[in-house]
Structure formats: C-alpha cells, structure tokens
C-alpha cells in the first residue's frame, strides 16, 4: 500500500522546517548546509529519492562538522522519510530515532512533533503495532498543542481515533473523535474528510445505530477517486463492507469489498513499479560523488585526445554519416510497421511488468509463510520426540500430518506458476495407501463433525501394502476433494473408494472415487469450478475458501499424467474420480526406507553457531542440533555473530538471511574479510533459486530452505565440516 496518511504531515512539515533556520551565526558553511537541506527537501517533494538522499547525506556530514544538532536532526529525518517512502521500514525506524535523539538535544519542539508523528505513522500503518503508534501520536499531539498547529493537531487526532478503532477500543477513541468533529474545518482535505466520515460510521456501527452509521459511510464513499483520495476511499469501502456484512446485507458488502480490492490493487501496482524503478540507492554519497567526478574527468580527457587526433575526428565523422544513413533506413522500416510494433511493444512491457510484480509477490509471501511454518513443523516434531508416550496419539499424528500438508500446500500455491510450466518434479516416497487415507480421515474429523457427516472408506484388498510415489501431493488431492465434499454436505455421507484398476509391469493403476450426497453442482457451473479463484455459490449459503483447491487438484493430477472426472446433480450429490499409477517394487521400497532411516548420531562433538533473529526458529533449530550431540550457540543478528567469532571458534555457522541491521549476505562477507574460513550454510525461508548467486558471491558454502528435513541438514553439516577439517 502507498504511504497514504504518512504523507499528511511529511510535506506540511517539510515546508515549515526546510524554510526555518536556527539562530546561529550566518557563516558560509552554515548557509551551505541550509541550502543543501532545502534542496534535499525539494527533491523529496518531487519523489526524486536518489538526489534527495545524496543532498541530505552531504548536508549531514557538514552538519556534524558544525556540531549543529538541529540540522543533524532534520537531515536524519529527511533520510528516514526517503527510506519510509521506499519501503525500507527498518532503515526508516533507525534514522527516525536518530533524528529524534538530536531533536531532543536541540530542544526544537516543532521538530520533535514532526518526527514523533512520522514514527506514529510508521508503527501504525507499516508495522501494525497500533499501541506504539498511538504512543507516538500522543507525543506528537502534545508538541502540536504547544505550537498551535491546528491542521496537524486535527490530523493527529484522526490517526489516534483510527488506531483505537483498529484495536476495537471505541471508548478510548471517542474523545478524540469528538474533538475532530468539532474542528472538522481544520482538516482541510477531502482525503481526511473521507477518513473522518468512515470513522464516524465505524463508531456508530459499534453502538448499533445502523442508520446513522450507514449515512456516514455513504458520505465517505461519495468522494471522487482522485490520486490522493484513493487510499482513504479504499479503506472507506472496506469498513463499509464490514458494517454491511454485520447487519446482514451480504450482497452490498461483497460489492464494496470488490471496489476495495480494485482500488488497493491499483495502488499496489503503482507502488511496486515505483520501488522497482528506484531500487539500489545507498548512503555512500561521497564515494558516489567521487565516481561521477572520475567519469567526468575521463570523459574530458577523451574529448581532448579526440581534438588532438585529426584521424580520429575524420573517422568519427565517417562513422556518424554511416550511422545516420542506418538510422534513416531504420526509421523508414519502423514507419512501415509502426502500428504493429507499438502494439507488440506495449504487450511485451505489460507482460514483463506483470511477471516482475508476480515474482516479487511470490518471493515476499513465500518467505513470510515459510518462516512461521518452520516453527510449526519443528515444534510438532519436538513434541513427538520429547513425549514418546504421545507417539500413538491420533490427534498428534493428525497435527503432524496437517502441518506437513499445509507446508506442501503453501509451497504449491506460491509456486503455481511453476506447476503450470511443468517445473515441479514428483517425488518417489514409499507409503501405505490405507495409512495415508486413515490420517486424512482423522485430520478432517472436525469438519465432518461440524456438519454431522460420516466418512466411509473402502480400500481394495488387492492393493499391495507398500507403494512408491509422491504421497504428499496425493494427500493434497484427496484433502482438497474430501474437505470440499464435507463442506457442501450436511447430515450425510462422504465415501472414499480406492480400487485396483489394472497392472502394467511394476505399476499399479489405482482408481479413486470421492462421493458425497450433498447439495450438488449445477450443470452450468461444472466447467468453471476447476479455474483459479472461482467459487460457485450454492443455494445462497456462505462457503469459505480461496477458490484454488480444485484448480490445484487438476494441475497436480496433470503431473501424475491423469485427469479428473466430475458427475453431479443439484440436490443429489457429487462424485470426483481419477486414476493414478504407483510403482510396486519391494527391493526399491526397502532401499528407500533404509535411506530414510539414517543414523544422525556422530562420535565427534561439533560446535555450531546459529545466527537467527526469530526466537521460535532459534528454539527449533537449537533443539534439532543439540538432539544429535552437538554443541550449539545462538546470536540474534550479524553484529552478534562477528562479536562472538572474535572470541570463539566454531565448526560450522548456520546463517539466516533476512535479519535487521545487517543481513546474512553482508555478515558472511565480513566474516570472510576477517579471514575466517568456517563453513557457512544459509538457513533461510527464501526460495533457493532466488538467492543462490548472491549466497555464492558472499562466501556461503550451501543453502538449506526452511522448513527442512533434519536428515538433509545433518548430511550437509557433516559433509562440510569433514571437508573443512581435511582441507586444514
């Protein structure tokens, strides 16, 4: 999302503070710093972040030379605003707090008001830490009242109301809402008027005064959708949708939710394109300046050499004439195909932009989901290992299966583009079909009980005890189909039938049938349900879901070389059927089992350093390592790693990538610069393909993606440690 309300104070205060000057002697150096600070502000107004950062960085250096706390604070704040707008939230927090420190030393009340307001916006809108945001807003409000900034005070009150309402504390937010209603003229902006109206709507909705609430919401969404108003207008539609849903107007609620998604989609695309175009900025401004001067000097030298050389000048003229001739010829060809080429170019640009945005989205979501899943899978395994008496518990087995299934499902959803491009390779695992279906049945027992359904399982006795194939993706297929059947059936039965269809060599073709006697699917909808994000309503009942389940089923079956058949009638139930071949080879099955059941213990005691900022992931990784008779130490960030490596030696380092202050790549580079050759393994939630090049260039030895199987971890660990010791 754009930093919509973040901007409400930024530019107002920039105009105030960039024009003010401290009461000091007007020396040349001071005037120069003030001018540079003004230029940095102007470039920030124009969203020219590169020049703004460059100017503020130079001004900051001069301000330190002058020991001018006010100018230091202002330039730190400008840098913080740049990074805030670029989406570098941790960096923005760092520079805002630096700015606040020097603002307190300079005792400029209005400057402290601006910085605390910026921090309030960051914690509220970006970090979703509403209590911290409220605290900063109240601090800013205290300063604003001292200086009598009416508009800024009104807008800060507005943000405090929004924060309290966000956490459902309407009582605490009411006095601030009453203040804004009395001073509405101070807001001076349609975007703020939109926010005030829907906040009034939220409050009266909480008081069950629905007519009054509805009137405020209608007023909020009646504003035009200009660029500046879109973010608040989107929120107005979202809150209105929640209100309509609460009072039972589901169709209208859905319509408003569609509008919200449309507006936020536009804003998200604009923000992504902006960030993609301004990526790669840094604060090494002096070096940047020296590089530019060097290039300019080299260019001047080249021009002087050209002037001295008549032959080169003549050759340059000849080449220019040839190029001019080629350009004229090219222009003629372009004119002949101009219309067609322009259409192709636009289509190509749109496709490339869409591909970049999709890749960025998948990368972000993949990391954010895999990180907590690592904790879920790890803690589940720890429970089973530490409490052997629970190993036979159906509930814990179902929990472990569900966690593994969820992980596999998340990976497939996030990489659905890879499935479509046939980049997903099926695994060969040994399994018992009866055991797998029993676990699925137990995992879905809560759903069957909810709708008072029974699950009947029938498995052909002719099927061999052990088969070889991708059991996790088979489980995904069955879980999706059975859960759908249970969801759309009440007081009925769901049947799971598995029969041996035929045998071809070592492959047994199994026929699967998932049948229910639920509401059924209308004939007109049967061709739609396998499309992505499609949900078919049945008898106006509210069934939850993403609309991806059957789409994933269809694509997974395609990986198995199979297809799905649907038979359904309204009111009579639905049945899905498909055939999948699985290998039956006793010798191969024995070999797979032997490979799985490896001995992870070691007679040597190795010392491992874990660099990880997530506390849950620290616990899980530490337990896995220490369970196998290894000594383990944990640090929270890259600086902690560098500090402990100065004092102690380790056999191997497990390095997280996404850490505050200094990421895993930079930490590894600094470790290598110190001459430390200890093997470093990236332990990360990022997709391996995305970080391989950067990991290798930083000096890492291998990559393991979380969540992982302990077997894989210790194979890599033992190999790298032994290789390192042999090299010594």
Paired tokens of 321: 């004439």
Q: Count CB-CB contacts under 10 A for residue 519.
A: 21
Residue 122 CA to residue 115 CA, distance in Å, equals: 11
Residue 687 CA to residue 85 CA, distance in Å, equals: 26
Could you report the per-residue pLDDT of 625-670, keeping only the tens digit for each?
A: 888 778 899 999 999 999 999 999 999 999 998 888 899 999 999 9
Would you state the pLDDT for residue 8? 40
> Where is mean pLDDT largest: 175-179, 264-268, 310-314?
175-179
Query: Which of 245, 274, 298 represents a domain boundary (last residue)?
Result: 298
The answer as to whether 628 is a domain residue is no
Would you state the pLDDT for residue 665? 93
The answer as to whether 327 is a domain residue is no
562-579 mean pLDDT: 89
Could you report the per-residue pLDDT of 663-715, keeping only the tens digit for each?
A: 999 999 999 999 998 999 998 877 777 788 898 999 999 988 877 777 778 88
With cut-offs at 50, 70 and 90, classify the pLDDT of residue 162: confident
Could you report the per-residue pLDDT of 235-293, keeping only the tens digit for each?
A: 888 888 888 888 888 888 888 888 888 888 777 665 555 554 444 444 444 443 344 34
Report yes or no: 422 and 560 within 8 Å, Cβ to Cβ: no
Residue 183 CA to residue 450 CA, distance in Å, equals: 51
Span of 32-36, 204-208, 358-362 with lowest mean pLDDT: 358-362
Residue 18 has pLDDT above 90, yes or no: no
With cut-offs at 50, 70 and 90, classify the pLDDT of residue 374: low
Q: Count CB-CB contacts under 10 A for residue 223.
A: 17
Q: How many domains is the chain partitioned into structurally? A: 2
pTM of the predicted protein model: 0.40
Of the two residues 91 and 590, the one the predictor is more confident about is 91
Residue 542 CA to residue 250 CA, distance in Å, equals: 10
What percentage of the chain carries pLDDT values higher than 90?
A: 14
- Which CATH number characterizes residue 474's domain? 3.30.565.10
548-553 mean pLDDT: 74
Of the two residues 18 and 342, the one the predictor is more confident about is 342
Residue with token string 């307190």: 104
Of the two residues 727 and 489, the one the predictor is more confident about is 489
Q: Count CB-CB contacts under 10 A for residue 722.
A: 13
What percentage of the chain carries pLDDT values higher than 70?
A: 72
Of the two residues 361 and 327, the one the predictor is more confident about is 327
Query: Which of 559, 593, 627 represents a domain boundary (last residue)?
Result: 593
Span of 27-31, 101-105, 129-133 with lowest mean pLDDT: 27-31
Residue 163 has pLDDT above 80, yes or no: yes
The answer as to whether 233 is a domain residue is yes
Would you state the pLDDT for residue 706? 79
Please indicate, yes or no, whether residues 444 and 584 belong to a single structural domain of this protein: yes
Would you state the pLDDT for residue 575? 92
Alpha helices in 107-209 (DSSP H): 109-121, 130-147, 150-166, 170-182, 190-206
Looking at the DSSP bridge assignments, the partners of residue 245 are none
Could you report the per-residue pLDDT of 444-455, keeping only the tens digit for each?
A: 887 888 889 999
CA-to-CA dists, residue 653 to 374, 671, 689, angstroms:
19, 11, 21
Q: Count CB-CB contacts under 10 A for residue 354.
A: 11
The answer as to whether 402 is a domain residue is no
Report yes or no: 681 and 700 within 8 Å, Cβ to Cβ: yes
79-87 mean pLDDT: 85
Residue 610 has pLDDT above 60, yes or no: yes
Query: Which of 537, 571, 593 represents a domain boundary (last residue)?
Result: 593
The answer as to whether 261 is a domain residue is yes
Of the two residues 152 and 415, the one the predictor is more confident about is 152
Would you state the pLDDT for residue 22? 42
The answer as to whether 552 is a domain residue is yes
Residue 590 CA to residue 593 CA, distance in Å, equals: 5
With cut-offs at 50, 70 and 90, classify the pLDDT of residue 325: confident
Span of 28-32, 49-53, 117-121, 321-325 with lowest mean pLDDT: 28-32
Would you state the pLDDT for residue 197? 85
Write out the residue range of the structural domain in which residue 265 sits. 189-298
Please indicate, yes or no, whether residues 293 and 431 belong to a single structural domain of this protein: no
Residue 572 has pLDDT above 80, yes or no: yes
The answer as to whether 530 is a domain residue is yes
Would you state the pLDDT for residue 412? 56
Paired tokens of 375: 């904790």
The answer as to whether 466 is a domain residue is yes
Across the chain, mean pLDDT equals: 77
Could you report the per-residue pLDDT of 195-239, keeping only the tens digit for each?
A: 888 888 888 888 888 888 888 888 888 876 555 577 778 888 888
């Amino acid at each position: 999302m754009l930093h919509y309300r973040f901007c409400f104070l930024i530019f107002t205060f920039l105009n105030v503070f960039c024009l003010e000057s401290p009461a000091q002697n007007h020396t040349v150096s001071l005037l120069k710093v003030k001018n540079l600070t003004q230029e940095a502000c102007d470039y920030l107004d124009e969203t020219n972040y590169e020049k703004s950062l460059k100017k503020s960085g130079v001004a900051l250096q001069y301000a330190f030379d002058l020991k001018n706390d006010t100018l230091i604070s202002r330039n730190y704040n400008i840098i913080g605003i740049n990074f805030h707008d670029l989406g570098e939230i941790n960096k923005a927090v760092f520079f805002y707090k630096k700015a606040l420190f020097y603002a307190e030393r300079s005792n400029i009340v209005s400057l402290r008001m601006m910085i605390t307001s910026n921090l309030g916006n960051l914690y509220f809108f970006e970090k979703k830490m509403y209590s911290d945001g409220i605290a900063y807003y109240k601090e800013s409000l205290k300063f604003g009242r001292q200086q009598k900034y009416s508009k800024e005070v009104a807008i800060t009150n507005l943000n405090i109301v929004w924060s309290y309402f966000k956490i459902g504390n309407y009582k605490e937010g009411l006095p601030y809402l009453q203040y804004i209603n009395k001073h509405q003229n101070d807001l001076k902006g349609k975007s703020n008027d939109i926010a005030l109206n829907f906040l009034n709507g939220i409050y009266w909705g909480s008081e069950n005064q629905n007519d009054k609430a509805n009137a405020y919401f209608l007023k909020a969404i009646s504003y035009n959708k200009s660029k500046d108003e879109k973010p608040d207008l989107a929120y107005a539609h979202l809150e209105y949708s929640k209100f309509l849903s609460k009072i039972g107007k589901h169709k209208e609620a859905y319509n408003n939710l569609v509008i919200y998604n449309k507006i936020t989609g536009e804003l998200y695309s604009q923000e992504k394109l902006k960030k993609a175009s301004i990526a790669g900025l840094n604060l090494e401004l002096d070096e940047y300046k020296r590089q530019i001067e060097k290039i300019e000097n080299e260019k001047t030298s080249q021009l002087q050499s050209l002037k001295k050389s008549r032959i080169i000048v003549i050759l340059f003229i000849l080449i220019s004439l040839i190029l001019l001739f080629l350009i004229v010829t090219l222009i003629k060809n372009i004119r002949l195909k101009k219309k067609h080429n322009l259409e192709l170019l636009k289509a190509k640009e749109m496709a490339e932009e869409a591909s970049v945005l999709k890749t960025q989205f998948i990368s972000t979501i993949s990391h954010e989901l895999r990180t907590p899943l690592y904790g879920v899978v790890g803690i589940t395994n720890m429970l089973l290992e530490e409490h052997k008496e629970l190993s036979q518990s159906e509930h814990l087995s179902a929990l472990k299966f569900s966690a593994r299934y969820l992980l596999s499902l998340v990976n497939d959803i996030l990489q659905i583009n890879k499935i479509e491009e046939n980049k997903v390779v099926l695994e060969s695992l040994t399994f018992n079909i009866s055991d797998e279906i029993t676990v699925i049945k137990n995992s879905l027992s809560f759903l069957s009980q909810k709708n008072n359904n029974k699950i009947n399982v029938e498995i052909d006795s002719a099927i061999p005890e052990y088969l070889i194939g991708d059991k996790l993706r088979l489980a995904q297929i069955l879980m999706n189909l059975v859960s759908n059947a249970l969801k759309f059936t009440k007081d009925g039965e769901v049947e799971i039938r598995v029969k041996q269809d035929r045998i071809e060599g070592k492959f047994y073709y199994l026929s699967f049938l998932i049948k229910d006697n639920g509401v059924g699917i209308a004939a007109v909808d049967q061709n739609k349900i396998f499309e992505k994000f499609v949900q078919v309503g049945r008898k106006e009942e509210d069934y939850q879901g993403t609309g991806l389940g059957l789409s994933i089923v269809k694509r997974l079956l395609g990986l198995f070389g199979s297809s799905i058949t649907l038979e359904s009638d309204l009111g009579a139930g639905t049945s899905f059927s498909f055939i999948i071949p699985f290998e039956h080879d006793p010798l191969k099955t024995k070999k797979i089992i032997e490979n799985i059941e490896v001995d992870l213990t070691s007679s040597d005691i190795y010392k491992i350093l874990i660099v990880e900022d997530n506390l849950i992931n620290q616990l899980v990784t530490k337990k896995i390592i220490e369970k196998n008779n290894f000594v383990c130490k944990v640090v929270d960030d890259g600086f902690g790693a560098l500090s402990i490596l100065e004092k102690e030696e380790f056999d191997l380092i497990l390095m997280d990538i996404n850490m505050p202050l200094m990421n895993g790549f930079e930490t590894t580079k600094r470790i290598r610069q110190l001459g430390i050759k200890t093997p470093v393994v990236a332990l990360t939630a990022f997709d391996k393909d995305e970080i391989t090049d950067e990991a290798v260039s930083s000096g890492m030895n291998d990559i393991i993606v979380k969540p992982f199987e302990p077997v894989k971890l210790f194979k890599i660990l033992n190999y790298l440690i032994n290789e390192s010791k042999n090299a010594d």
